[in-house]
Structure 1
Amino acid sequence: MKAAALEGQLRASEARNEAILRASLDAIILMDHQGRFVEFNPAAEAILGFSRAEVLGKPLADFIIPERFRKRHRRGLVRYLATRQGPVVNRRIEMCALRANGEEFPVELAIIPVAGSDPLLFCGFLRDITERKQAEARQAVLMNELAHRSRNILAVVQAIAARTFSDSRSAAESQPIFARRIEALLRSQTSLAPEREGGNIADIVRLELEAFSERVEAEGPALALSARAAQTFALLVHELATNATKHGALSVASGCVKIAWSLHGSGEGARLHFSWREFDGPPVKRPERTGFGNIVLEKMVRDDFGAEPAIEYAPDGLRYALDAPLKAVTES
């Protein structure tokens, strides 16, 4: 009777454990003392791309550990079995894992020796942190851009003052004009962080260049950008405007900027074309070093818009253009 009761309790316990394995959103992987898969739950299948039947009994290192780390993994396992000590056991770590398609991706991993197991078993809890890492990287870029803007703002104010007070107007006439331009510049800073629902491309351009409105032509259809695209686009326009103010067409009285955007195609093939052209400015040349501005103008545009920007350092001013899938800038 007691034996039957114990057997029933054992079956119930096994059923609970199986339910936990199947319900977990994190990958749960059981490895034996020889480094072979013993268990591989459905979340592990979904995250890593291998089937349970495909991996059970096989060496874990050959499947989910990038090749350059496999020797270290095997040495660490041997050392732990000998000393019961290791730098990655009983703690959370971040590392790269390998999917079935060969893609490496960042994971958070906790490895726990299973108490009472003989030979020893290890239980690994693995979580895909790709989205978190992308968000952290983007936040770092935005913080760098904020610092970059802070350094640039004084140069922009000085340029506005120099142009305003060097005209033929008197000081009394120039002062209210200067004040209006500074107010416009301050309003433009709000474009760094558009509202959660995104922003209109025309509003971003207007806010950023309102202080130079008499020498800037902007033309294009109304287009609502997603929140992320609006933020990237605001950074892009700010970088172009700052460079034009400090070194380009807006740094001299004769210079001007023409901005245009248009939509082409329809459905899945619809695209946004954006161009920035400077005229009658001083000679420009490609920067000798790659700074934060290049990250915004090139890398962020590639990453966020799926577009390859075209940059031309023409004799009388910069030319910048991008052609992006419409859904990349309008869909969240």
Structure 2
Amino acid sequence: MLGIVMLTAELRESLRRARRLNEELIESERQAVERQAFLSGVLASSTDCIKVLDLDGKLTFMSEGGQHVMEISDFNEVVGCPWPDFWQEAGNAEAKAAIEAARRGEARSFIGKADTYRGTPKWWHVAVSPIAGPDGRPDRILSVSRDITNLRASEEERDRFVRLAENSTDFIGMARTDGSVFYVNDAARRLVGLEGGDITRLTIADFFPPEQVETVMHEVLPAVDRDGHWVGELDFRHFRTGELIPVLYSVFPVTDATGTLIGYGTVTRDFRERRRAEEDMRLMNGELAHRLKNVLAVVQSVAAQTLRGIPGAEAASQNLSARLVALGAATDVLTGRSWRSADLCELATRALSPHGRIGERILLSGPSVTLKPELTVAFALALHELATNAAKYGALSNETGHVTLAWSIDGDGNDAPFAICWREEGGPPVTPPQRKGFGSVLIERSLRSYFSGKAATDYRPEGLVFELEARLGDAAIVTGN
């Protein structure tokens, strides 16, 4: 009986151990299934291309996410294919070298270019490592490839910008919002004498002479914050010699990915050559104006000598001299602007000031208008004729009369109507002349021809009125054209 009891107890203990082992086995299988499901989920969710190769480098497995990124719809189409064959140019040699290293138990990584199965070109960052077998020796090879095409594109764009900035002949620099400088290109260093110098302790203010620092810090930078840019002419200072360098200073904001202002950038152009050219042009125009005045003086002298002694020629000589003086005034305006254009108000002031005080006897009004150079001389001579007639017979011939010269523009662009009106008031009563003299013909016909418009003189009893109507684009330089 004792033996039976002991055997029964042992059997019961054996059954308990069996049940416990069975439960542990079931739990182990459950955990294994969960781990497999988890790993399968990770492989399926990963955007990396995870592959398993045999020791010859042939594909034996590819993750679901890898098949998606490689644009492979059926892995059976590529299973057994040599993995290095997917790589182009230097990438092919890198892939073969990585496989050789994995066979020796070493891990390798490289960046290469490879097309997807459908031919889409992509850049990849690849990590290759051995998978050890039961004996600890490499049994298979793991390859994980990450698509870095977008990152590569942004890096190439950045590299292009860096090459552009470094090769530019303009001053290119960047500074933080506190003014501390963190980048200047080689051209900038050469311009201000910073070759080989340390820029980390420099600020924006250090590049300008003391008298311009206030302008930059309290006008230029606030304008960039407010308007998004600022462009104007300033001076840089040379760090070694102290020389002032005229520049066209262009500033813009530098922002991060969220649009937050993190600093200021500048592309600044050396204006020394332009300033020298402008100075040379001013000297040349001054010389031209001087020579032209000499020519006019010679013509005036020749004309006076030619007409001397001819009965009744004294008045003609005086008129010719006055017209030559008016011609000289018009050329003065043109030479001051390098014969490019002339401001209408400036031209009228110079042509009319000898005949009466501007603002008192002669009133000027109208918007800013820049006459074309080919019209300037003709208009100056016409104003001279009008003023001369007013001084002899019209509103400027007494102490109470006055003249108004007004011009207007109705609209914008080349087709906008442009009108000029000369109006005399307060002078002696006016009667139409029996015949038109040279001056009247010069005024009407010349201006009508040059301005390609309508010109008419009205001899009203209260005072002469001359009106000119033209298309703005035919008479003036229109901004933006």
So what's the TM-score if we normalise by structure 1?
0.45
Point out the structure with max Rg over C-alpha: 2
Higher relative contact order (CA 8 A, sep 6+): 1
So what's the TM-score if we normalise by structure 2?
0.33
**Higher helix residue share:** 1
